[in-house]
Amino acid sequence: MKKVVTGVVGNDIHVVANRLIDISLQARGFEVFNLGVNTSLEEFIDAVVETDADILLISSLNGEAEGWCRDLQFLRSEYSLRDVVFVIGGNLAVGEAKQSDIIPKYQSYGFDLVFHQVDLNTGLDTLEAYMKERA
């Protein structure tokens, strides 16, 4: 069973979306460690280390993830997390933004999969396909 650490990054209290992600992941057979809302990037990384998780799935709805996730490469390098898949999804920009601008930006921060305003099931289908391909 693949292990996923999830939660909502930064000063963001969108708890309903967080619960839906948790339930959907469990329904797809993942073991879920849900850190809930208002979670810092360091806590996410630390949870991945403590649980030896396969996937880190960060969600953000207030659009402020950009400011909270810039240090991902740095924190990743603190531990050897080369096999962990880093995913971010939700509403990833404040105001209007194009997918073509957002996705490369988050990829440059160190995320493997980026879902900006993509519905949850489509995102999770893509994640499962990605994991299968890697295996």
Nearer to another protein, 21 or 35 (CB): 35
Decide if residue 15 touches another protein (CB under 8 A). no
- Whether 46 is catalytic is no
Q: How far is the CB of 109 from another protein (least distance, A)?
A: 20
Decide if residue 125 touches another protein (CB under 8 A). no
Are 85 and 112 spatial neighbours (Cβ–Cβ below 8 Å)? yes
Decide if residue 49 touches another protein (CB under 8 A). yes
CA distances from residue 117 to 33, 39, 63, 112, 129 in whole angstroms, order as listed: 23, 20, 10, 16, 19
Decide if residue 122 touches another protein (CB under 8 A). no
- Whether 12 is catalytic is yes
Helix (H, G, I), strand (E, B) or coil at 14: coil
Helix (H, G, I), strand (E, B) or coil at 22: helix
Total residues belonging to the chain: 135
Q: Which residues of 66-87 are buried (b: 16+ CB within 10 A; e: fewer)?
A: bebbeebeebbeeeebeebbbb
Q: How far is the CB of 5 from another protein (least distance, A)?
A: 9
Decide if residue 74 touches another protein (CB under 8 A). no
Q: Which of 18, 21, 30, 33 binds another protein (CB under 8 A)?
A: 33
- Residues annotated as catalytic are 12, 14
